Amino acid sequence: MKEYVVVYEEGPTSWGASVPDLPGCHAVGKTFEEAEKLIREAIELYIEQLHADGKPVPEPAGRE
């Protein structure tokens, strides 16, 4: 399984999450835990859609 970097940002009333290696893949939750759960689901759906469209799945940026 590929591991992607997720960026979390805390707002005044919610948490946002995005995946830099998957453009447009993001989620928002009222709590960090909710945002974390939703971004995991968003990543899965994003990759499923790429497969369905016959498009390649981007490789995660390497750790250095």
Nearest to residue 25, comparing CAs of 5, 2, 11? 5
Q: Could you tell me the residue ranges of all domains in the chain?
A: 7-52
The SS3 assignment for 47 reads helix
pLDDT at 63: 56
pLDDT at 62: 65
The SS3 assignment for 49 reads helix
Instruction: Give Cα 41 to chain centroid, integer Å.
Output: 8
R_g of the chain computed on alpha carbons: 12
**The pair of three-digit structure tokens given for residue 27, joined into one six-digit string:** 């989620």
Q: Residues 6-62: pLDDT tens digits?
A: 999 999 999 999 999 999 999 999 999 999 999 999 999 999 999 999 999 999 986
pLDDT at 35: 98
pLDDT at 61: 86
Amino acid letter, residue 27: A
Q: What is the pTM of this model?
A: 0.89
